[in-house]
Amino acid sequence: MATLQEARPGQTVRVVKLHGQGPVKRRIMEMGITRDTSILVRKVAPLGDPIEVNVRGYELSLRKADIDIIEVEV
């Protein structure tokens, strides 16, 4: 398993688990990112922050703090 940080542009990954707790995890879940959600990585900034993704038909920009708690299956 890997985190969303390791996914490359153009790659579709599936969320396995969300780590952590509190406001960061709650914000991720409010964006519609939950277990078994497919995420298409659109673009990654040169330093890896932010990362632009498509989730359930929406385009989102995720920060490094958000990316690190999302465990995915590549």
The DSSP string of the chain is -EEGGG--TT-EEEEEEE---SHHHHHHHHTT--TT-EEEEEEE-TTS-SEEEEETTEEEEE-HHHHTTEEEE-
The whole domain housing 22 covers: 2-73
Statement: the pTM of the whole predicted model exceeds 0.85: yes
Q: How many domains does the chain have?
A: 1
In this predicted structure, what is the pLDDT of residue 70?
A: 92
Q: pLDDT, tens digit, for every residue of 3-50?
A: 888 899 999 999 999 998 888 899 899 999 999 999 999 998 887 778
- Domain with residue 20: its CATH number is 2.30.30.90
